[in-house]
Structure formats: C-alpha cells, structure tokens
Amino acid sequence: MQSTTSFFPQGFRTFVTNIGIRDTSDDFVLVKSDVPCIADGVFTQSLFAGPSVTISRHHLKNSQAQGIVVISKNANVANGSVGVADAEEIIQIIANETGILTNDIVIASTGVIGRRYPMEKIRAGLLGIGQKLTTADFHLAARGIMTTDTVTKLATRQVGNAKLVGIAKGVGMIEPNMATMLAFFFTDAAIPKDVLRSIFRPTIDKTFNCLSVDTDTSTSDSAVILANGLAGEVQGQEFAHALQEISHE
C-alpha cells in the first residue's frame, strides 16, 4: 500500500473539517466525484435504522451517487422527525453549495445516539463548501470519520489502469451485520451497476458481516461504493479480488 495521494483514484475531491459536533477533532467529511458514479450500498438490518440509513437507501435505489457526507460523533438517531429534517437540510445545503443533485448525495452518521445535530454550527460550516473541496485526500477522510477509533483505517489497490481505495470506521459495539461500522470505497474503474452489485454485496457478507465482538447492534451501519469510471473498464474478477482484499484488510 502506498501512502501518497497520487495512488488514489482520479476524479474525487474531499473536504474534511471540524464543524463543531463534539470536540476539536475533525468530524465532517465530504467526498465528491467530478461526475455521477455507479454506486451501491449495504446497510444495517436493524429495524431502528437512523435517518442517515433510510435516506441513503432511498437515494441509492437508482444505483447512482456523486457525493458522500459523513458526520462523526453524532449518530442522529432517536430524534424523531426532527432528526430526519436535519439530515435532509444538510443534504439540501450541500446540493446547493456543490451542484450535486440531492438524490445523488449519500449521508452517513456515527457516534452519540439521542442528541440532535448542532444545526447552527453546521449551517455556518457548510457555507462556501463547494469552493473548499480539494483533490481527494483519503487519509484525511479516514481520520475525519473516526469516533473513538485509535487508528485510521485505509487500504488501496491497483486494478488494471484503475485505482480502488477503502476507508472505514469501527470500534466497540461490533456484532454480525456490520454493527457501528462505516466503510466507504471509491474507484475510477468503470463497472456496470449490475456487476458492481453482484460483487459488492457478497464481499460485505464475507468480510464486515463476519465480525463479532460484543453482541450490540447499530442503527447506523453503512457500506457504500462509488465508481466514477474515469479510468475505463477493468476485469471484473480482478476488481472483485481487490475489493475483497481491501475489505478484509
């Protein structure tokens, strides 16, 4: 694995900051593709899934996305209709600031349950976000999605002319079916949506869904992949192998 940003897939931009959720560490991450992506997602099986999960499931029904926003240290769960409205407002603001369609934005949240987002701080922090995006630094993104993790989790692979990167957050409360875990994958490979789905879901089953530590489940588990196609087509079996290696790592 190389640590230089030159090894990251092309056509992605990131913005990572402290937006005032809980402490002074980074707690807000936006990853934007320059073009709409073929996308897929696997989410918690909890019947009490939070707004981030229910909204993202809906937005990924057409297998397309262009941006992922992650808020750490606040799960936005058990806040009723207000929590849904807050998540939808954040998506709308990001859409307005970046030009991404609202339905092409995936949102994920992790952290404290039962506490509302500090919306005034978030609104202020999102002003001008479209101009603050820079060439993607997934090391910063991996750090920004952490809660009580002690190390960042990032892995990369080359697949033909394309590159694939994965970042993850997960610590404590891990039970089968990804509990309290977020994982995001980004590639510039061109993958048809039916092929991506046939690869991604079995990969999650064979890796993240095999974890078990302490019997708690989560309302926020999310694993999402974006493929913007800018590096051209790759061999499907080779891509599947690389994805599983990253997920396992």
Active site residues: 180
DSSP string, 115-158: ----HHHHHHHTTTHHHH-EE--HHHHHHHT-SS-SS-EEEEEE
Q: Which amino acid is at 152?
A: T
Q: Which amino acid is at 177?
A: N
Considering only CA atoms, which of 141, 136, 144, 199 is closest in space to residue 9? 136
Strands (E), 8-95: 12-17, 28-43, 64-74
Q: Determine the Cα–Cα distance for residues 139 and 136; give it in Å rounded to an integer.
A: 9
CB atoms within 10 A of CB 118: 16
Task: Please report which residue ranges of 127-233 form alpha helices under DSSP H.
Answer: 129-132, 138-144, 193-206
Considering only CA atoms, which of 177, 166, 172, 146 is closest in space to residue 224? 166
